[in-house]
Structure 1
């Protein structure tokens, strides 16, 4: 389950798939319990190397897109085997904005506070139009109305609540920043900043040792050769910003003889070779190892700009970033050397991969995952191209001050946590909620998964992890990020989805699944793998009444289970309630009743118990009650639990419907379904044979077609004493009298034994509400 109570992953048994891809609407309606205001619209379909088809759907509420909420159907041969994602339960949200997009944009710009924006630079605007081959292209933000969680109301009950917001892509030139800014469409407050340009720590980004001069594809040009090539996707290109901050003013690096040795100079022009070779190496890794064609899986061109500097007087730019379109590298200053090493390229292009897959929001835990996955790709690409280097240190050779920016093998060495919530775990609001600090947990998980090891973490939990190697670990991490994670995923979701990815790739119960689980335990996320295999989870079909406007279930009793209720929107999941015990071979009585909002109609009751725990209610003997009644009083049914019933917890399902043909699964028009857990004791482990049992309907009010039972009052009109007669001659527990306006009146007095003294009431019509402790009855009377 996700933190909001909706399912993060629903897996179906392969031998009995509940849905095909053509049943997407039905699958979402039944498994996510969609309201009439919810819509799921397909955004993309991909087929992976395992033959799985993944259809991703975006959530909309009243036609407005819900940011970071998406759900994916995972299918093989069109049969849905699982579905996963994040679904936001939204109700009563006003989707009419009080602010115009222009007013909201002004609020966003005040929040960013830049001196100059990209759309204010005519050359950059012209360059964008040329790059996109679109004369209408512009950096000026265009407002989009969305629904998003408020992530900035720290300390307020509004934190995490969905709001209607204007979304803007704001690209600032001085100082450099680019982020999605979300402005509350009613209050004008900024509720979320999701950075597109991801900075490394306070001053820089990730890097490892320089790789020296490498062979690298180039392209002929006037004067010799330039750093461009077209053999990888749509191409890889590297440009010289000449210590400026303009992409459009950047020029090619040219070498006369294609031997670039003279670029090792005081100006650090050899940084361009590292950037170019790094981009090619990263492309090769994703293509050759993970089967991904560039960061968007469609061969997108990778552009790199080196010698970028927007500092006053060209003091040296100590950063590298992916700006949502291109790679940007500074030359460094007091902290860093030029930031163009191999794992910097892999790390930053990894951000581009993330934006095209999980699109993890750049704040708090999702932001820490975003950074951590980029570190994983930095390590994986470096190991792929330069295995003799220090794979688990990030930025060790560009950092002039510290041994490294981060250590994946020992995050504590660089003030990062290696345990969720442990030493150095950051809980403040700086650095977008500690995205560069708390990423240490994912980094260390990947390290442990790769090399194994044992010990005790910060929570005092001992662990032992078997190594699976960096190739298998990276494939699991990639599937987790590209298939399962969604924008708002946290560490708990990463654990769930990486375990599922290991099952997909290597099989349930495989050494890889065990190692993934134990590696998460090592970093304090979840328990270690249980070597005692739990019983296979049973998935039950959905059943729900689409309307409870007239009838619903209002009372259920079986042994120690007793529940009185009103309408529950067509379905109530009571499986978490304490389960009553019923012994195999014993006779049991179940009690139940219907509630009516008005006239008591004839209703059809069906009650099931899944005796053999196979997820179905259609086996012989599993329907324990079947019949009809128009009574609002308590009904009972007796049944005998088969001696062959399987011991342990299983499901009981009650259905009341106005249609005799209503089955145990699927939705139906009028009525309600309720599910509960019952515990069978003394039963057998079923290996065959029948579930022969008996059921009969006795006691209480039989399930026939008797007349509806209502509250009777007489005489009506009444002058002094009104006599009340409840169904079954029950005694009234509470009696209330309302006047014609619906207001309570104190002029009447209930004297017991069905006697209501109305002598003090003024003449007129009144509404009487009477309860027998279980049901509530309504009746009008006239005081004369």
Structure 2
């Protein structure tokens, strides 16, 4: 939940001390952490970051503004156990005085001794897996903040999805008192799926010369690599090599054509986040990624597994899923995960998927490829449905037959690809407006006012900042019990930070959420 100085901090001596400490130079991490732990003391934690309930905190990431304000993201443990979805973000002003805290309240369970054995937990996890099991990791005890501090066994089951080609690393959560499996989350996130490239047209790509040839290793973008799985699902991936540095022939008759699409798209995704959002690679350390193309046989999918990207060749192995928007969607999961580890279920999982489609569209605009101009369609080039249609869009996501364009009471329980539609529709309204636009017709959800968009450049900055500075792992679209912890609240805060309170941009964020039936906190007298 959202806590401010006036509601939770000012009344405590610990935070009062932090607020009266002398100003320090911006970027002083030691003083920032000292101020953050003092702020946490107001919530029952001692200045060393621990508490009488066994909670402790460690800094996982720090965001420092140009004006000296600092935002510290803290990981939480309880009696040494990791806390799922329990991140806390402490906001400090330029003098390192605490101005607010975001995160769930105390999550210490009443009992930390499991009633279910580790053997039983492993067995339950194996039974919950759908597909072919390869290995079952040893279950580990965790405290689940998304469930109010439930003590749980978390077991990672590794194997293959029912299609026999998609790898799976399924995290299974089982109640430590009853053994009942109550949640699952797969690390491998997929989307149905897209030099002389197949889709982007004639483009320039960065390669590395060897003694006798060129290798598809990109020295300008963190060492991005592109390799050929030769339509297998395991075994070595062969790096693409070419004698004359000309890759592909615009068709699938040359295996390098799809590779050039992927290599180009991965570079443009890298550049987009670096030059638009000042983030160098997924982790911020400038590291690139490997793209594996020609994976599986007639494999109509693409996925990011936390370490690399993988792309099938589609039905008949003639429509590789290597288009810009599909690759940027998959790689976008890596960037989003690095900003905030959204729990991949319900609305938080939907926000994760929405973010990837937003990044897919924004990278496509940024790339400005001659054969694939920017739009708000997803996967139209790969034609994965075989009907000449995209498998998704941002202006009216419900056109795919399953996604939610408007929030409803069924959205919280929907699968992430379905609930993602609400976030995608909001973003389109924010950027382009409602009604008839140059990119598609965006309907209103109910009897509400239309929205005039503020443009992509501002909308993408707001969404990124909301994830980077404010969002928590369990963030939802709607939370009536804690409306200050929603994506609506966080994008409003981001817009106020970037463009000013009650600015046109600030008001438009509010109107765009209202237009997709997402209610919550209101500002500036708006809906």
* Both proteins in one fold, TM over 0.5: yes
Do structure 1's residue 194 and structure 2's residue 194 form an aligned pair?
no
Q: Which has the larger radius of gyration?
A: 1
Q: 1:183 aligns with which of 174, 186, 196?
A: 174
Offset of residue 532 of structure 1: 4.6
Q: CA RMSD in A?
A: 3.1
Give the corresponding residue for 1:302: 289
Match of 1:351 in 2: 333
Distance 1:52 1:402, change over 3 A: farther
1:49 offset after TM fit, Å?
4.6
> Partners of 2:130 and 2:419 in 1: how far apart?
28
Are residue 393 (structure 1) and residue 377 (structure 2) matched?
yes
Cα 1:169/1:263, change in 2 over 3 Å: farther
Contact 2:431–2:453, Cα closer than 8 Å, also in 1:
yes
Cα distance in 2 for residues equivalent to 1:503 and 1:449? 14
Aligned counterparts of 1:394 and 1:85: Cα–Cα separation in 2: 33
Q: Does 1:524 align with 2:520?
A: no
User: How many Å separate the matches in 2 of 1:403 and 1:517?
Assistant: 32
Q: CA deviation at 1:332?
A: 0.8
CA positional deviation for 1:502 = 0.8
- The answer as to whether partners of 1:59 and 1:87 remain within 8 angstroms in 2 is no
How has the CA–CA distance of structure 1 residues 178 and 216 changed in structure 2, closer, same or farther, with 3 Å as cutoff? Answer: same
Look up the match of 2:202.
213
3-state DSSP of counterpart to 1:279: helix
Q: 2:61 aligns with which of 37, 40, 45?
A: 45
Match of 1:146 in 2: 142
Cα distance change, pair 285–199 in 1 and its aligned pair in 2 (3 A): same
Q: Secondary structure at the match of 1:463?
A: coil
Counterpart in the other structure of 1:732: none
What does 1:144-183 align with in structure 2 at a 5 Å threshold?
A: 144-148=140-144, 160=147, 162-173=149-160, 175=164, 176-183=167-174
Is the alpha carbon distance of 1:67 and 1:261 closer, same or farther for their aligned partners in structure 2, counting shifts above 3 Å? closer
Q: Does 1:67 align with 2:76?
A: no
Match of 1:58 in 2: 75
Q: Distance in 2 between matches of 1:141 and 1:181?
A: 11
> Which structure has more strand as a fraction of its residues?
1
> Who is 1:376 aligned against?
358
> For residue 627 of structure 1, what is the aligned residue in structure 2?
none
The secondary structure found in structure 2 opposite 1:87 is coil
Rounded to whole Å, the distance in 1 between the matches of 2:452 and 2:38 is: 42
Instruction: Report the CA distance shift for 1:337/1:49 in structure 2 as closer, same or farther (over 3 A).
Output: farther
* Map of 1:30 onto structure 2: 42
Q: 1:350 to 1:80 in 2, by over 3 A?
A: farther
Describe how 1:286-365 pairs up with structure 2 within 5 A: 286-309=273-296, 314=297, 316-333=298-315, 337-365=319-347
Residue number in structure 1 paired with 2:2: 8
Task: Name the residue aligned to 2:112.
Answer: 95
- In the alignment, the residues of structure 2 paired with residue 532 and residue 88 of structure 1 have an alpha-carbon distance, to the nearest angstrom, of 29
Greater relative contact order: 1 or 2 (C-alpha under 8 angstroms, separation 6 or more)?
Answer: 2
Residue in 1 aligned with 2:417?
A: 436
> Alignment partner of 1:165: what SS?
strand
Range 406-415 or range 322-331, more displaced: 406-415
Deviations 1:135-164 (A, max 9, x none): xxxxx73443211268xxxxxxxxx45432
- Residue in structure 1 matched with residue 28 of structure 2 by the alignment: none
Among 407, 412, 417, which residue is 2:398 paired with?
Answer: 412
Say whether 1:236 aligns with 2:224.
yes
Structure 2 counterpart SS, 1:147? strand
Q: How many residue pairs get matched? A: 479
- Offset at residue 504 of structure 1 (A): 1.2
> Under a length normalisation based on structure 2, what TM-score does the superposition of the two structures give?
0.82
Kept in 2, the 8 Å contact 1:308–1:328? The answer is yes
Q: Which stretch has the larger CA shift, 347-356 or 98-107? A: 98-107
Superposition deviation, residue 265 in structure 1: 3.7
Taking the aligned partners of 1:506 and 1:71, their CA distance within structure 2 comes to 25
C-alpha deviations, 1:157-202, integer Å up to 9, x for none?
xxx45432222333314632123222333333322211211122xx
Matches of residues 450-529 of structure 1 in structure 2 within 5 Å? Answer: 450-453=431-434, 460-492=446-478, 493-526=486-519
Contact 1:368 1:439 in 2 (8 A): yes
Aligned-pair CA distance for 1:305:
0.5
Contact 2:434/2:450 (8 A) holds in 1: yes
1:684 corresponding residue in structure 2 = none
Contact kept in structure 1, 2:193 and 2:314, CA below 8 Å:
no
Match of 1:377, SS state, is helix
- The alpha-carbon distance between structure 1 residues 167 and 531, as it changes in their structure 2 partners (threshold 3 A), is closer
**Offset from partner CA, 1:81-134 (integer Å, 9 cap, x none):** 5334331444652211244545423332232154352x6xxxxxxxxxxxxxxx
Aligned CA distance change for structure 1 residues 42 and 427 (closer, same or farther; 3 Å) = closer
Structure 1 residue 488: deviation in Å? Answer: 0.8
Q: Deviations over 1:261-287 (max 9, x none)?
A: 447343654111111111110000000
Residue 52 of structure 1: CA displacement?
3.0
Indicate if the aligned counterparts of 1:107 and 1:188 stay in contact, CA closer than 8 A: yes
Q: Is the 8 A contact 1:166 1:184 kept in 2?
A: yes
* Counterpart secondary structure, 1:242: coil
TM-score, with structure 1 as normaliser? 0.57
Conserved 8 A contact 1:97-1:185: yes
Aligned match of 1:106: 123
